Amino acid sequence: MERDRHKPRLLELQSAAGNGRCADCGQPDPEWASYKLGIFICLNCSGIHRNLPEISKVKSLQLDFWESNLIEFMKKHGNLCAKAKYEAKVPPYYYIPQSHDCLVLKEQWIRAKYEREEFVATQVCQDPCSAGSHEGFLWKRGRESKCFQKRRFLLSAREGVMKYYTKEAKGPKATISIENLNAMFQTEKIQHAHGLQITYNADGQTRNLFVYHESGKLIPRITRNYVKEGYMQKTGPKQKEAFKLRWFCLDSQERNLTYFKNPLDAFAQGQVFIGTMDEGYEVQAGLPQGVRMKKRKPAITVVTPTREFVFICENDKEQREWIDALNGVITQPLSG
Ligand code: ZN
């Protein structure tokens, strides 16, 4: 029979280099193929391709009849060839779904790849930035609920923004300029290997987003790390107010010592700009003159041209570390 005569050739192709795994998610031993794109794909991905008849047409390697011209076509193309064409310009931060990922992620990927041809080299030759937007899902910690929820994130190089969406609202929940955005790994704080803290300025206020990706691939460029983070107690401007426990983050690039009520708060309570030694900034161990405490505490005083800030560290080791970290910023010249 015709069908049986071609079958061995088809299965031989399936075992050729690159065809042994699904072209879209990497699942081993794909049993389906798109004879319009010339790729071997798994059952799950074939279901997605089936819904995109404009760009793809699928057949089962085992169950369907294969005309010899289609087998020729498969032979001429194949997964490596398709990869070279459709994945030529996948940005390093773009998350490529794997076989265990959900169908939504795979569909995003397949549509971006073949429908919008986002990663085809010839299309982006005019301007690498016009490669457009990259989207995917991140788990974001809710401001009120504190639970991590799956949210769609979009990074648009052309618009220079990152947006994220909630299920309810039609438009983006937030649009953040990539220029004003800092991203850093925060595995401990978020308690996830791919935990990420995204910090940006919203109407003059420092806002935090805590997110993670299941396998850490869709992430904005990592821009920096906090030099030091931890609890300290702070008093008010009169230095007579009761000391309150706050979570402090020292950003050496922005030269900010930002403080929060809790480490995972969305909004900062305040921040102290840390200038240079030439501008009169200084950090000292101990309390400023005139401030007294009943018991000796591991305190530090940050002197700025306008005010002295008094902090009490958790212990002597923390005190030394904060002094070193702050001195590191004070002695570093202003950039730009
Ligand atoms: Zn697949």
Task: Name 305's Cβ contacts closer than 8 Å, sequence gap at least 6.
Answer: 275, 279, 280, 281
Domains 133-212 and 228-330 share a fold: yes
CA distance readout (Å), 258 to 83, 176, 276: 45, 19, 17
From ligand 1's centre to the CA of 103, what distance in Å?
9
| 2-115 CATH choice from 1.25.40.80, 1.10.220.150, 3.40.710.10, 3.40.50.150 | 1.10.220.150
Provide the pLDDT for residue 16: 78
From ligand 1's centre to the CA of 42, what distance in Å?
4
Give 66's DSSP letter. -
Report the chain's mean pLDDT, rounded to a whole number. Answer: 84
From ligand 1's centre to the CA of 96, what distance in Å?
11
Q: Residue 131: which pLDDT band, with cuts at 50, 70 and 90?
A: very low
Decide yes or no: CATH 2.30.29.30 for domain 228-330.
Answer: yes
Lowest pLDDT segment from 132-136, 154-158, 302-306, 313-317: 132-136
Provide the pLDDT for residue 258: 92
Neighbours of 15 (CB within 10 A): 10
What pLDDT, in 10s, does the model give residues 228-266? 999 999 988 888 888 999 999 998 878 899 999 988 888
From ligand 1's centre to the CA of 183, what distance in Å?
31
From ligand 1's centre to the CA of 213, what distance in Å?
20
From ligand 1's centre to the CA of 30, what distance in Å?
7
Give yes or no for residue 126 having a pLDDT over 70: no
From ligand 1's centre to the CA of 67, what distance in Å?
24
Determine the topology of domain 133-212 in CATH. PH-domain like (2.30.29)
What is the DSSP secondary-structure string of 229-287?
A: EEEEEE--TTS-SPPEEEEEEEETTTTEEEEESSTT-SB-SEEEE---TTTT-EEEESP
Provide the pLDDT for residue 133: 59
The pairing of beta strand 299-303 with beta strand 228-234? unpaired
Provide the pLDDT for residue 194: 77
Provide the pLDDT for residue 225: 67
Residues with CB under 5 A from ligand 1 (ion): 22, 24-25, 27, 42, 45
**More confident call, 166 vs 6:** 166
Ordered by start, the domain boundaries in the chain are 2-115, 133-212, 228-330
What pLDDT, in 10s, does the model give residues 259-307? 999 888 888 899 999 999 999 999 999 998 878 888 889 999 999 999 9
From ligand 1's centre to the CA of 21, what distance in Å?
8
**More confident call, 43 vs 164:** 43
